[in-house]
Structure 1
Amino acid sequence: MTTMDTITEEIAHFIGLFHTNVEDARLRDSYQDFSLDTPEQFIPTSAVIRSNFEAPFDLLGFDPGVVYRAPASFTPIWHPHFVGRFDHPPIPTMEIKTYHGRHEMPQYEYPFYASGKSFTWEIQPPGSVANFIVQVASLSDNDSFGVGGHGLTFDPTPVDNGELLQTAKDVLADAPIGDLEMPKSSDDLIQIIETVASQLEALAAESDGPTEAFFHQSTTIEGIYVNGVLVDEAPKLEDHHSFSEDEDEADDAAAAGDEADAEDDAQPSNVHVYADGSVEVEASVELIGGNNTVVNDAVLKNIWTGATVTAVVGNHFEINAVIQVNVIQNTDAITSAISGWTNDGAPDEIFNIATFQRVDPLEGGNAPANAGGGYPASWAVTEIHGDLLIANWLEQYIFMSDNDIGILSSSGGTTRVIAGDNTSVNQVSIYELSQAYDLILIGGNLYDANIIHQTNILFDNDVVGAVTGFGTTGEGTISSGGNLLWNQAHIYNIGGADRFSTLPSAYLDAANDFAAGGRDISQGILTDPAFAGTGGLRVLYISGDLLNIQYISQTNIVGDSDQIALALNALNPHADATWSISTGGNALVNNAAIADLDSLGVTYVGGEQYSQETLFQSGLISSSPEWAAHDPDALVNEAVAFLDDSMLEADPTELGFGVPVDPDGQYQDDGLQHVLG
C-alpha cells in the first residue's frame, strides 16, 4: 500500500469533505420525490448515488513537522582541565518487587472494606534519578579601535590570558576540596563523599588554620554568614548591581511623576536645543571598556523521597559544605595627564554569602497530627533490589576575555565607544518530587551530601596613557574600579539535626527478615509512636545503599585588561571636549541554592552516625607589581606611530575626505559591538 505525506493527506480530507457536502445537497433536491412507500424502481435515479469506494493510501498519522537534531558536543579549549569531563555514571538498574500485607483494615480508615475481608494494597517504588549537567560559556571580545582623527596607530602587545588561566588552575587545584572529578559509578560517589569529608577534616586539624580565609566546621551550622561574619540578614544583589540600569532610572522617574525631567534625563547632556530651533552638540568622548556581566545561577530542589521513619542497618554519613573563593587583580596604570579629571574612586566589592538553614518537621506546628490515635494493622512493602541513587551533579563555567586596545581623540562631535558591556549567563533549575513513605528500611548504608563550590576570578589590569602633548580643558571623568564579585549559596535541609537514635532490635529483625525473603512486620514496629494514627504502613525496602548527593560547582573567569591611548585631534585639538572613560564595573555573580529532603521524622542508625557541616569563605586581592611599575605614557608612546603625513594635507571639508583614523578602527573585529563617531 502506498503511503501518503501529511500535505496530501490534508488535501484528501478536504476533497472527501467536499464530496460529502455535494451528496447532502443532492439528497435535499430529491427529498420531495422520495417516499418510503414508493417502490425502488420508481425512485428518481438522481437520489441514488452509486460509487466504488477505494482506499489506496495508508495514512501516516499526525506529524507535527518538528525536526530535531542533537547539538554538537562542545569541548572548551581555553582550560585543559575541563576537557573530557562530560561522561556521567550510568543510572543503576534495579529489580523492583512489591509485597502486600493481608490484614483486617480499620473500618474508620477504609470503610469500603468490611471487617474480616482481605484486600491487596499496592504502592509504587521511586526510581533512581540522576542528572549530570555541564554548562560552559566562552566569549572573546578583544576589540581594537581608533577614533577621533588623531592620525596615529596604536599597536601595543596584546594582553596574554595565560597568567589568568594559570591563576584559575591554581585556585581550583588549591581549593579545600580540590576540583572534583565527575563520578563514573556509585562507588565513585561514595569515595567522593568520604574524600571531601576527610579533606575538610584535615583542613580543620591544621594548627594555624587557613590563612586569609574564614573557616567554620561543626556538626551543624545555622545562620547567615557574610565574609566570615554571622549576620541577621543577607545583602541583596539588587542593592549592589542592576541588570537594567536604564529601565530602573526610567521607573524611578515615572514613580516620582516627573515625566519632563525623565525626558531631559534621556537626552544626552552634551546636546543643547535652543529656542530658535538650533541644535548645538558639544564635543565629547565616551568609552565603556568594561561593564561585563557573567552569571551562574542554579536552583536544585530535591524532594524525591522521604519517610516518617528512616531505619538504616549500616552507617549514616552526612556532609553539608559551602566553599566560596573570590580572587581579584585590579592594578591600573593611569596617566598623570588626566590628574585633573574626576575619579569616581568606586571600590571593588567582594561578597561571600552563605546560608545554612534546617527545618525539623516534628517541631512546633510542623508536627503531623495523629488522626484518631491507634496503630496500623496492615502494611504494604515495595522493594528496590540494589542501590537507590538520587544524584544531581551540576558544573557551570564561564570564561570571558575582554582585553581591548584603543586610541581615542575628539572629533568635535559625539564619540561613544562600547568595547565591553558583554553578558554571559548559565542557568539551571531542577525540581524533583516523587513519593513519601511511612517507613524506609535500608539494608546497607545511607550517604547524604550537599556541596556548593563557587569561584570568581577577575583580572582588571588597565593601562590608560597619554600621547605626548595631550591635554584637556573640559570636564573629564575616569572609572577603573567598581567591580563586583558575588558568591551566594543557600543549603536548606528538611530534617532535624537531632533526629538520630539507635536502631531498635525490631527494625533490625525486620531488615534481616526482608533480606531472607520474608515480609513480616512485628508489633515492635507497628507500635512505634511515630506511626500512631496511621491506618496502614507504606514501607520502602532498599537492599543496598541509599546515595543522595547534590553537588553544584560554579566558576567565573574574566579577563578585562584594557590598553587605552589618549590623543588630540590632528587638525583641531578640541581641548575643551568632555571625556568619560570607564574600564571597570564588571560583575561576576554565582548564585546557588539546594533544598534537600533528609527525613520527615526520626532516623534510626544501626552503625555509625557521622555529621559534618563546613563553611569556607575566602576573598583574595592579588597584585601585579610589574604592571603598576610601568609608566603608562611611556608604554603608549612606544606603541604609537604616525600615519602617512599626506593624509593630513587633504581638506577635511572636501567631499570624499574624512578625518584620518586607523582604517581598522572603522569596524569591530568581533562584529558584535559598534563605534559611533
Structure 2
Amino acid sequence: MFDKVTEIVAHMIGVFHIAIEEARMRDVYAQFQAAKLEDPAVEDLLNISVKISAPYTLTDFSPSIEYTPSAADYFFAPDGYGLYLADLFYQPLGQLGLIEGSPDGQAAPLPFFPARPHLTLEPPGSVATITAQVAWMEDDDELYLNEEQAEFVDPSTYLTSLHSLALISKALGATTSEAPLDFSESTLSAALEFYEAISAVEDASRIGETVTVSFGADAQGSFVNGETVEETPVLDDVMPAYFQAENPDVTLEEEESDTEEDGDALADTDPFQGLDGSSSDADTFEIDDGHNVVTGANVMVNDASVMVGWLDAPVISVMGDVVELNSISQVNVLFEQVSFNGDTAASASATINVAVMSNVSSMPAVEDGSTVEDTTPQDLGLPSNWAVTRIDGDILTVNWVSQFSFMTDNDRADVQFTGTNTQIVMGDNTIANVVDLAEIGYGYDLIMIGGNLITINQISQTNVMMDYDTVTSSNGVPVGYSGGDNLLFNGASITNTGLDTYGEMTDNFAKASDAFAQGANSITTDVAHDGAFAGDDVLTVLYISGDLTTINWMEQTNVMGDSDQVHLALENFAEETGAEINLTTGSNAAINLASIDTYGIDSEVRVGGDVYSEALLYQADLIDTDADPLGVALPALANEAVAFLADNMIGPEIDTTNDTEIIATPPENSAGPDLMQTMLA
C-alpha cells in the first residue's frame, strides 16, 4: 500500500488518462458514429424528366414480297366476319368473291370485291470492281570471289532485248485494236467492235510463231497448245526440275477439285502454298553437301478468279440487240540460249497453253439421259398475281482485272570454292499477284430490257521470258549443270452455267416493253399468262429501260529476264576436294492462272434486234533459241512485228532504227486503272 498522498496522486493520474481516452473517442467510437448518423447531410433530389417516344409500331413478319393495300382494297364486311378475313389469302384469287367459314356456316357475300393485290419488289443494283496489280522486281546481283575479276556483259544490254520481246508479245495477241468504253452511254458500239475484232482473227504464222485459232462450237472443250484433250495437265507435274527433285518443298501444290473436268481446278491453285523457299523460318538453315550455286529458279504467278451469279431469269425479252462474246487469248514468248565454255545448245524448256471453255445447262440430268424439265407435268396453271419493279437506266456487272509482273534476275558471279560445302543463291525469287471475287445477286421470273443485252467474258494471258545463260570454267567441267528447263504456263477457264436460247420478239412482250417505256409500272395478263410461265403462282418481273451489261475482263502479263553470267574458278578443284558442283541458271517459271465462272439458269431470250454471239480461243507460242544473246536483231524484229500486226499502234513517222532506248519494260496500263480506255487493248 502507498501512503495517502501517493494514492491520491495515482488516482488523479488514472482519472486523467481515462479523460484523455474519452476525448479521443476510443472507448465511445460506436456511440459517436451512431450520433453522427442521427443527423445525416442530405442533398436535394435531382429532378429528371424522362421522355419516351415510340414512333414505330411493330407489325407481323413480312416476307420479301409485301402486300400494300390501297384505299379501295379494304373490305367492309358485317360484324363477326373480321375473324375470317385472314382466310381470304388462302383462297385462289379467282374465288375471292366469297369467304368460307362464316359464323352461321353459310357463305357470305362481300359488300365489295377487292382489286388484285399490289405486290412490290426491291430493285437490283449494279456492281463494278476494278483491280490493278503490279509487281516489279530487279534482282541483278553481282558477286566476285576471285582477285582477278572476270569480264561480263552489262545487264542493260539484256534489258534492251527484253523490252523488245515485250513489244513482240503485245503484237502477237489476238486483238490489238483499242476502243473507248464509256458507261455514261450504251457500250453496244464498243462491244460490236470487239465482236468484229475477234471474228477477224487469223491463224496464220507471221514472224515464226505457232498459232492455233478456234471459233464458236470448235472453241468449246479443253485444249492444250491447240489440241483437244480429255484432261488438262496438273501444274505440279510440269514444274521445272529444281522445284520437283532438288527442292520439293517449293513445289506449287494444286488443291483437289471435284470440278477439274470443267477447268475449275486451274483456279483452285493457291499460289502462296509452298512458296516459302527451300527452308522454313522455324528450322535452322542447313547447307546441302557439296557446292550449290543458284542464279535462276524464279517464279512469277498471276492468279485471278471471278465467280458471278448476279442477275438472271428463265425468260428475258430484249428490245435491242444481244451481244454474247467469250474470248481466251494466250501468248508465250521464250527466247533462251545456253552457252557453256563457248558451246551453245538449246535447252529443254516448256511453253504450255491450257484453256477450258464450256457452256452447261443449269437443269440437272436424270439417269435415263433426259432432264428434269422433260419429266415435269405440262398441265400447270398460270400466274394469278405478279410483282413488278423497274430500273430507269442501265444495270452493270463489271469486273476488270489487270495483273502485271516484271522481274529481272541478270546475275553476274565470279565464284571460287574454298570450303567443304557452299550454298550461293542469287535467284530463287517469287512474285505473286492474286485476286478472288465472288458476286451473288438476284433472280427473277421475267427480265424485260428496253435497250441491249451485252455479255463479254475475256481472258488475255501473256508470258515473256528471256534466259540467256553464259557459263565459263577455268579448268575442266566437274559440274552438274542445269540450264534452261524453264516453264511458261497459261491456264484459262471460262465456264457459263445456264444456256440461252434466242427467239424472235413476240407481240405481247413488245407491247409491254413499249408501255414500260411510256411510264407503265406493271404488266398485263397478256404477258403474265404467256405459256413460258406455266407453273408460277406469283410472277416476279424486272424492267430495265437501258442496257443490261455484264463484262468480266482479265489481263495477265509476266515479263521475266534471267540472263546469268557465271565464271567458275576450278583449277585443281576436283583433285583437291573431290566434291560436286551443282549449278542452276534456269528452272524459271512464269505462270498465269485465270478463271471466269458465271452462274445462272437456262433462259429463253426473245430478241427484237440482232444477235451477235461468238467464242474465240487463240493460242500462240514464239520460241527462239538461235537469236543473238546481245539482242542485236531483236529491236528490228520488234518494230517489224508491231508494224505488221498492228498498224494502228504506231504513227507514220516511227523511228525504226536499232537504237532502242534502254528502259525497263513498263506495264501496259502504267497510266493507272482506267477502265474507260482499255476494253479492247
TM-score (norm. length: structure 2): 0.67
Distance in 1 (CA, whole Å) between partners of 2:207 and 2:163 is 27
Q: Which runs of 5+ in 2 are unaligned?
A: 1-29, 49-65, 74-87, 100-112, 254-284, 633-681
**Greater CA deviation, 404-413 or 440-449?**
404-413
CA 1:49/1:466 → structure 2, altered by over 3 Å: closer, same or farther?
Answer: farther
Residue 627 of structure 1 deviates from its aligned partner by 3.0
**Which residue in the other structure is 2:138 paired with?**
140
Q: In structure 2, do the counterparts of structure 1 residues 207 and 167 end up closer, same or farther at CA, with 3 Å as the change threshold?
A: closer
How far did residue 604 of structure 1 move? Answer: 1.1
1:552 CA displacement:
0.5
What residue number does 2:446 align with? 439
Change in 2 beyond 3 A, CA 1:219/1:544: farther
Kindly report the root-mean-square deviation, in angstroms, between the aligned alpha carbons of the 2 structures: 4.1
For 2:341, the equivalent position in structure 1 comes to: 335
Distance 1:491 1:370 in 2: 34
Aligned counterparts of 2:291 and 2:527: Cα–Cα separation in 1: 80
Number of matched pairs: 510
Q: Which residue of 2 aligns with 1:611?
A: 613
SS at match of 2:120: coil
Q: 1:625 to 1:190 in 2, by over 3 A?
A: same
> Is the contact between residue 302 and residue 556 of structure 2 (CA under 8 Å) also seen in structure 1?
yes
Distance 1:411 1:397 in 2: 42
* Separation in structure 1 between the aligned mates of residue 207 and residue 630 of structure 2, nearest angstrom: 32
2:585 is aligned, of 566, 583, 586, to 583
Partners of 1:507 and 1:534 lie apart in 2 by: 18
- When residues 112 and 403 of structure 1 are mapped into structure 2, their CA distance, relative to the original with a 3 A threshold, is farther
Check 1:428–1:172 CA distance in 2 against 1; reply closer, same or farther (3 A cut).
Answer: same
For residues 451 and 466 of structure 1, the distance between their equivalents in structure 2, rounded to whole angstroms, comes to 49
Alpha-carbon offset, residue 572 of structure 1: 11
Q: What residue is the counterpart of 1:293 in the other structure?
A: 299
Question: Does 2:366 match 1:359?
Answer: no
Q: For 2:174, what is the secondary structure of its paired residue? A: coil
- Cα distance in 2 for partners of 1:233, 1:167 equals 32
Change (3 A) 1:288 1:373: same
8 Å Cα contact 1:106-1:535 kept in structure 2: no
- Give the match's secondary structure for 1:153: coil
- Structure 2 CA distance for aligned equivalents of residues 300 and 212 of structure 1: 29
Of 621-630 and 326-335, the range deviating more from structure 2: 621-630
Structure 2: which amino acid aligns with 1:544? G
How many Å separate the matches in 1 of 2:627 and 2:231? Answer: 38
Alpha-carbon offset, residue 159 of structure 1: 2.1
What is the CA distance between 1:523 and its match in structure 2?
Answer: 3.0
Aligned to 1:239: 237
Which amino acid in structure 1 is aligned with residue 607 of structure 2?
Answer: V
In structure 2, the partner of 1:314 is 320
Q: Give the match's secondary structure for 1:163.
A: helix
- Equivalent residues of 1:314, 1:445 under 8 A apart: yes
The one-character-per-residue Cα deviations of 1:358-401 (angstroms, maximum 9, x if unpaired) are 12224635757689931111112111111111111111000000
1:525 is paired with a residue whose SS is helix
Contact 1:362/1:601 (8 A) holds in 2 = no
Matched, 1:303 2:346: no
1:449 equivalent to 2:456? Answer yes
> Structure 1, residues 294-327: CA drift from partner, whole Å, max 9, x if none?
0000000111111111110111111101000111
| Matching of residue 543 in structure 1 with residue 550 in structure 2 | no
Counterpart check, 1:169 vs 2:167: yes
Residues 101 and 310 of structure 1, relative CA distance in 2, 3 Å threshold: farther
Distance 1:172 1:113 in 2: 72
Distance 1:110 1:538, change over 3 A: farther
Provide the residue aligned with 1:121 in structure 2. 119
Where in structure 2 are the equivalents of 1:214-225 lying within 5 Å?
Answer: 214-218=212-216, 221-225=219-223
- Amino acid paired to 2:226: G
Compared CA separation, residues 49 and 136, structure 1 to 2 (3 A): farther
Does the CA contact (< 8 Å) of 1:293 and 1:423 recur in 2?
yes
Deviation at 1:416, TM superposition (A): 1.2
Quick one: which of 410, 414, 423 aligns to 2:417? 410
SS in 2 for 1:332: strand
> Could you say which residue in structure 1 is the equivalent of 2:349?
348
- In the alignment, the residues of structure 1 paired with residue 198 and residue 148 of structure 2 have an alpha-carbon distance, to the nearest angstrom, of 57
**Pairwise CA distance, 1:494:** 2.1
Q: Which moved more, 1:224-233 or 1:357-366?
A: 357-366
Equivalent position SS for 2:232: coil
- How far the C-alpha of 1:128 sits from its partner, in A, is 1.4
Could you tell me which residue of structure 1 aligns to residue 228 of structure 2?
230
Which secondary structure does the structure 1 equivalent of 2:444 belong to? Answer: strand
Distance 1:209 1:544 in 2: 45
* Residue aligned with 1:235, SS: coil
Shift of 1:355: 0.6
Partner of 1:471: 476
d(CA) in 1 for partners of 2:208, 2:532: 44
Contact 2:337 2:484 in 1 (8 A): no
Q: 2 CA distance for matches of 1:535 and 1:289?
A: 69
Look up the equivalent residue of 1:522 and give its one-letter code. Answer: T
Residues 65-118 of structure 1: CA distance to partner in whole angstroms, max 9, x if unpaired? Answer: xxxxxxxxxxxxxxxxxxxxxxxxxxxxxxxxx998999977479999997655
Distance 1:363 1:594, change over 3 A: same
In structure 2, the partner of 1:491 is 494
The match for 1:260 is none
**Retained in 2: the 8 A contact 1:329–1:623?**
yes
